């Protein structure tokens, strides 16, 4: 199984065809990590793109900011929000398990 990294620089328009192709090639495994609250963000756009065609075996992990951040370094805040590289890697591994 291979991984894909898609830099979605914009959620509108989003490359829905490219996302569906990548998800198909990775066996339905998706990790969305965004420096934004989950509502109305990249995760919602990815799910809308995936809803256009049936996916029989989707394993999705959505990492997003859930709370109001305080002060800290970039690394501290990314870790606090659960969207740093360690959390992304952990989410990717978890999609392989389930």
Options 3.40.390.30, 3.40.50.300, 3.40.50.920, 3.30.365.10; CATH for 16-97 is 3.40.50.920
Helical (H) or strand (E) element with 59: strand 59-65
Q: Smallest Cα–Cα separation from 88: which of 60, 59, 63, 58?
A: 63
What residue segments make up the domains of the chain, in order of their start?
Answer: 16-97
Residues 44-70 pLDDT 10s: 999 999 988 777 788 999 999 999 888
Predicted structure pTM score: 0.84
Pick 5 or 30 by higher pLDDT. 30
């Amino acid at each position: 199984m291979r991984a894909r990294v898609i830099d979605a620089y914009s959620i509108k328009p989003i490359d829905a065809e490219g996302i569906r192709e990548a998800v198909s090639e990775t066996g339905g495994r998706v990790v969305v990590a965004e420096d934004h609250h989950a509502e109305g963000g990249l995760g919602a756009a990815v799910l809308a793109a995936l809803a256009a065609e049936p996916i029989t075996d989707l394993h999705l992990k959505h990492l997003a900011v859930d709370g109001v951040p305080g002060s800290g370094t970039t690394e501290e805040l990314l870790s606090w929000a659960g969207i740093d590289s360690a959390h992304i890697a952990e989410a990717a591994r978890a999609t392989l398990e389930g």
